[in-house]
Every structure is written in structure tokens, then in C-alpha cells.
Amino acid sequence: MAPRPGRGKSNKAKAEKKKKEEKVVAPSLLDIIVITPYDTQVVLKGISTDRILDVKKLLAVKVETCHLTNYSLSHEVKGQRLNDRVEIATLKPCLLKMVEEDYAEEAQAVAHVRRLLDIVACTTRFNKSKRSSPSTPPSESKFKKANPSSIGNGLHTSSSPSDLRRCNSKDEEQRRQGDYFEFQVKICNGKLIHVVASAKGFCTVGKQFSQSHSLVDLLQNLSRAFANAYGSLMKAFVEHNKFGNLPYGFRANTWLVPPPVAESPSNFPSLPAEDESWGGNGGGQGRNDEYDLRPWATDFAILASLPCKTEDER
């Protein structure tokens, strides 16, 4: 008896469907080891569905690497400059290396400066109210038992737009190829450091020449006070943010503004993430009415109900 037409195809389709179902595997936890530019290792907690882009996001909230912005990731088998879409599960072994890259355009150097301003913003924008406690002179002893809310006056950088000094005609003769812009950084002890941003990184101007790929490294090499203050800030971040969600990237919006704004509403400087003078987007996505009808209360309620007590749940 001849087989009925289509019966073989039906069985084949069922078999293929069964194979596909067997291939569906729940995401699993994964340790991702990354070698930093300082030849140290950091271990990231990822999942098997993560990609290189997710690894970069995890590195951005690690105290050891949060100040680094211009780098690529390499793998001993997959090669150099891995694409952001490469899946972590395909990397055997799961060992990556950070490779510092040139600041190919001025916007990348500006973004790097903005990252540092953003990291230290909690020390200058979210400090305790001046009305509740008398102000005290900044001192290094203040950082021994520091936390992000009490670091307030200890670590400062010249973050206002007026402190970004472009090269004028006098400096133009001394300007090297690849230099982008100049600015000054005011350290917590009052010292001013003149810095030039270039394609190769950041360097000082004057007799004491020093150059580093990152601004934090440069300032740490030049100032013990900055190194101590920044180290204390990172220690405080670890103690108060055990899951690694560092307190930077803040934006002001209609229902949440930094405490100093309540004391002086007329003096409301932009937060680094929004400061257009440092490459920010000037106030976020709320300006285009795109999210006016979004059910924010429902979204926040869902987030609040998610399990987040353990590191695995986070």
C-alpha cells in the first residue's frame, strides 16, 4: 500500500520541532574574567546570553574600571576588537583583555572627561544640606570613613562650562598634532592642574610633563591628595553599593532633583549626564513628549516587586 502523501513531511516537521525545543536552554550564570590595562583581573557576574556590549556595561559599574571609556576587548581565540554583538557563551575560555584605544575624535575625549565628572558628581551635587550641618574645611581625614553622601566637599573638579578652556591664538603655536582641547582641574587641596586632551590621552602643560590614557590615572600620578580622595570614594561605592550599581549617570527630572536645588532653585547647574558643554544631551528624553503617556507607577511597581536580595537574583 502506497504511503499517504504528506505523512513523511509531517513526521519530519515534528522531529525538527522536537529538536528545537531540546535546544532551548535556560540562561545560566557565568563568570567573565577580564584583564584590565593595569594587568589586574576583575571577575564579572554575567549570564550565558550576554554579549560583548553587556560586558562593557558591567565594566562601567566596576570601581576598578568605571573611569575607562575608550577601549576594546580582545580574546586569545576570537582575536582583537571583538564586535559588541559577539555572544559570551562562544568564548572559550571566557577570558577577555581590555585594550586601550586612541580617542579618534574630540567627542570621545569630551565623553571621557564627562565620565569622571559624573562619577564625582555625588560628592558635589548630592551632599548633605548646609542648613542641617555647619560646613567644615575639606581635609583628607574626612575620607577615612567616607561614604557618597558625606564626601561632599572633599573631591572637586572644575566641572562648570567656563572651566573648559579652548586653545587660543597664543597657545596655537604650541599645540601638537592630535590635541583637542585644554581645561583645568581643581584638586581638593586647591591645586590647579592644566590638562590637554588629545588623541593619545591626557597630558599636563608646563615643566612637569606627564601623560596617561585616562584622566583619573593622570591626576592620581600628579596628586597624592586626589589619589587618596578618589580611592576613598571608590571604597565608599563598594561599601554602599554591594551589587555594583555605582551612583552616577543621574539626571534631573520633574519629580527628582539634587538636594542643593531646593536651597537655591535659581542656581541649578546641569548634571554631567545632561551638560551639553561636556557632550551631554541637555535634559534627556523627556523633552520630546515620547514618554508622557507611559504608566510610570506600574513600571516602578513591577521593578520594586522583582527579587533582588541576592547577587544571583540581581
* Domain boundaries along the sequence of the chain: 29-100, 106-240
Q: Look at 178 and 84; give whichever has higher pLDDT.
A: 84
In this structure, CATH architecture of domain 106-240: 2-Layer Sandwich (3.30)
Task: State the CATH class of domain 29-100.
Answer: alpha beta
Task: Please check whether the two domains, 29-100 and 106-240, share a CATH topology.
Answer: no
pLDDT value at position 137? 38
pLDDT value at position 24? 60
- Which whole number is the average pLDDT over 286-302? 81
pTM summary value: 0.72
pLDDT value at position 128? 59
Asked whether the predicted pLDDT for residue 134 surpasses 60, the reply is no
pLDDT value at position 64? 93
Q: 233 vs 58, 155, 219, CA distance in Å?
A: 19, 9, 15
pLDDT value at position 262? 73
Asked whether the predicted pLDDT for residue 227 surpasses 50, the reply is yes
Asked whether the predicted pLDDT for residue 16 surpasses 80, the reply is no
SS3 track for the chain = CCCCCCHHHHHHHHHHHHHHHHHCCCCCEEEEEEECCCCCEEEEEEECCCEHHHHHHHHCCCCCCCCCCCEEEEECCCECCCCCCCEHHHCCCCEEEEEECCCCCHHHHHHHHHHHHHHCHHHHCCCCCCCCCCCCCCCHHHHCCCCCCCCCCCCCCCCCHHHEECCCHHHHCCCCCCEEEEEEEECCCCCEEEEEEECCEEEECCCCCCEECCHHHHHHHHCHHHHHHHHHHHHHHHHHCCCCCCCCCCCCECCECCHHHHHCCCCCCCCCCCCHHHCCCCCHHHHHCCCCCCCHHHHHHHHHHCCCCCCCCC
- Which whole number is the average pLDDT over 272-294? 74
What percent of the chain is predicted at pLDDT more than 90? 35
User: Quick one: pLDDT band at residue 144, thresholds 50, 70, 90?
Assistant: very low
**Which of 184-188, 232-236, 265-269 has maximum average pLDDT?**
232-236
**What's the pLDDT tens digit per position in 22-49?**
556 678 888 999 999 999 999 999 898 9
